[in-house]
């Protein structure tokens, strides 16, 4: 199932989103788009048996950690 995450551009750097997408890429297909003042992230598990209910929060937290 695909999760859609909307992140405000004021709080997240595109470079961090791209780095996080690469870090998560072995488990999830991740697409990044821009919509006005937001990034729209589409996250889909590569393996349907992978639990993904918390992946949106984990992805956002990982992005923030990369921006330190």
Would you say 35 and 4 are in contact if contact means Cβ atoms under 8 Å apart?
A: no
CATH of the domain at 61: 3.30.310
Q: One digit per residue, pLDDT tens: the chain, 68 residues?
A: 889 999 999 999 999 999 999 999 999 999 999 999 999 999 999 888 877 778 999 999 999 999 98
Question: How many domains are there within the chain?
Answer: 1
Q: What is the dihedral of CA 22, 68, 64, 15, to 10 degrees?
A: -40
**The tokens of 41 are what?**
């992230």
Would you say 63 and 7 are in contact if contact means Cβ atoms under 8 Å apart?
A: yes
Q: The whole model's pTM is what?
A: 0.90
Helix (H) or strand (E) holding 58: helix 55-66
Q: Show the domain range for 46.
A: 2-66
């Amino acid at each position: 199932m695909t999760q859609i995450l909307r992140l405000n551009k004021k709080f997240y750097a595109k470079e961090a989103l791209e780095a996080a997408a690469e870090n998560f890429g072995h488990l999830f297909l991740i697409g990044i788009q821009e919509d006005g003042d937001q990034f729209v992230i589409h996250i889909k598990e590569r393996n349907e048996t992978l639990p993904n209910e918390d992946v949106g929060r984990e992805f956002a937290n990982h992005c923030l950690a990369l921006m330190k």
